[in-house]
Amino acid sequence: MSSESSLKSYINWRLILILVAFLMTVHYILYNNDYNPLKKEIPESQSHSGSKSHSGPNSRPKNFYDFHDMKAAPDSIETETSTADDTQSGKKASSASSAKTAAGKTTDGNSQEEYVAICLAVKDQGRDLPEWLTHHYHHVGIKRFYIMDDGSDPPLSTIQMDYGIPKSAITFHYQDRATRAAAMQPVFYSQCNEWHGANHTWIAYIDADEFLETTGKETLEEILKTFEPDELVGALGVNWKTHNSNGHLKRPKSCREAFTSCLVDSDEEQYGGTDDNHHIKSIVKTSFFGGAQNPHKFGLRDGAMTVGETGDIIHSIAWRSPITRDRIALHHYAVKSREEFEDKLLRSNAMSDPKSEGFWEYIEAMRPVEECKEMAQYKP
Ligand SMILES: *[C@@H]1O[C@H](CO)[C@@H](O)[C@H](O)[C@H]1NC(C)=O
């Protein structure tokens, strides 16, 4: 009898150990904050194979789409920011806690203008900026842009260009090549929040080839306001809508007008809910900002979470399923024209954002597409 019960407890003890190990593994897979899981699964060899085997819409390399590579994020982003130019760190805009209060008591009459801003990390994409700025200023109502210039030559701030919006709406920060960290994007994002977070309730972190669209009757500000009082919400995750080249070889005048062919949304079952359009980008409450986990999702303070447009909690590190865009969408011009894609290949070396010929083939030929003309209606 007693040997039987000691055997029983022996088995239970082992079961508990196994269960704990299993749960830790699951936790690691689902909630790992590192960039590496995103990166690891990209088959490098694929991109150099040059094989033209169009393997049909149902076969695609796992995580093949995700070439937004931020390498390893610095463990302490805060210490990294001090490497940036000194004139800026001199006027650092206080901590997150002050952002919390500042947002509520902006009384200088421009609180509306300052409610949400965009932080853009960019290099040598000056030609793309007029349409991108015009769209977000005039059609999305964003009146403040932080352009984190990653060593453009010449610096973007020195280029005389009509951006289609008041110059005063743009704040440039120039990052010298010499003092550049290996992975600048998470550093830029932390700088944006640290230096300017106090002036805004939300900051959106998107790229120059990504365009926000409010798809319903609400403005962006109205959408964000619905999430503002909820202390459990730290960020809004917006699903991508991925556009292909639409057969364009040369750079068109307007990308919104030219690229009106999009990848069809897949079901979660088809690709595990991690393919192109399942990706999100984040609009983050400045008072909850903890740091970029990857280009898509952010660490948030006080246990706050990233939610989708319906208030659904996004647990994954970069994706949202099911995909909905009833209130807000993020159009991702993944390749643009052939000409621009080739420019991107050259640029990517510098931005540690490796694109490859395989990526072009994937976007252009391996997935079903549908017409998507909604962005062409925005003029200018
Ligand atoms: C905040 O906004 C005010 C008014 O537009 C501006 O003068 C100030 O420089 C801004 N501060 C930061 C840190 O961006």
Residues 31-40: pLDDT tens digits?
A: 544 443 444 3
Written as six digits, the tokens of 319 are 């994706």
pLDDT value, residue 21 = 82
User: CB under 8 Å to 149, separation ≥6 — which residues?
Assistant: 122, 123, 155, 156, 157, 172, 173, 174, 175
pLDDT value, residue 15 = 76
**Residue 10 host element (H or E):** helix 2-31
pLDDT value, residue 100 = 37
Q: Is the CB of 144 under 6 A from ligand 1?
A: no
CA of 95 to the centre of ligand 1 (A): 15
CA of 378 to the centre of ligand 1 (A): 30
Helix, strand, coil in percent for the chain, rounding step 5:
40, 20, 40
CA of 175 to the centre of ligand 1 (A): 20
pLDDT value, residue 28 = 64
Residue 12: inside a domain = no
Instruction: Name which residue sits closest to atom 14 of ligand 1, judged by CA.
Output: 196
Residue 22: inside a domain = no
Total tally of structural domains belonging to the chain? 1
- How far apart CA 145 and CA 167 sit, in angstroms, is 10
Is it true that the peptide bond before 380 is cis, omega within 30 degrees of 0?
A: yes
Q: Is the CB of 110 under 6 A from ligand 1?
A: yes
Amino acid at 87: T
CB 359 within 8 A of CB 65: yes
pLDDT value, residue 84 = 37
Residue 15: inside a domain = no
Give the closest residue to 98 by CA, choosing from 196, 10, 205, 180: 196
Residue 43: inside a domain = no
Q: Which domain holds residue 179?
A: 66-77+101-377
Residues of the chain with pLDDT under 50: 1, 32-110
CA of 111 to the centre of ligand 1 (A): 11
Return the CATH number at 266: 3.90.550
Amino acid at 122: V
Residue 260: inside a domain = yes
What 3-state DSSP class applies to 311?
coil
CB 48 within 8 A of CB 356: yes
Q: Is the CB of 93 under 6 A from ligand 1?
A: yes
Q: Is the CB of 196 under 6 A from ligand 1?
A: yes
Instruction: Name which residue sits closest to atom 7 of ligand 1, judged by CA.
Output: 199
Residue 94: inside a domain = no
Written as six digits, the tokens of 296 are 């898509």
Amino acid at 68: H
Residue 158: inside a domain = yes
Amino acid at 35: Y
CB 308 within 8 A of CB 237: yes
Q: Is the CB of 305 under 6 A from ligand 1?
A: no
CB 308 within 8 A of CB 322: no
Give the closest residue to 327 by CA, choosing from 346, 307, 345, 299: 307
pLDDT value, residue 216 = 97
CB 277 within 8 A of CB 241: yes
Residue 93: inside a domain = no
- How far apart CA 330 and CA 332 sit, in angstroms, is 6
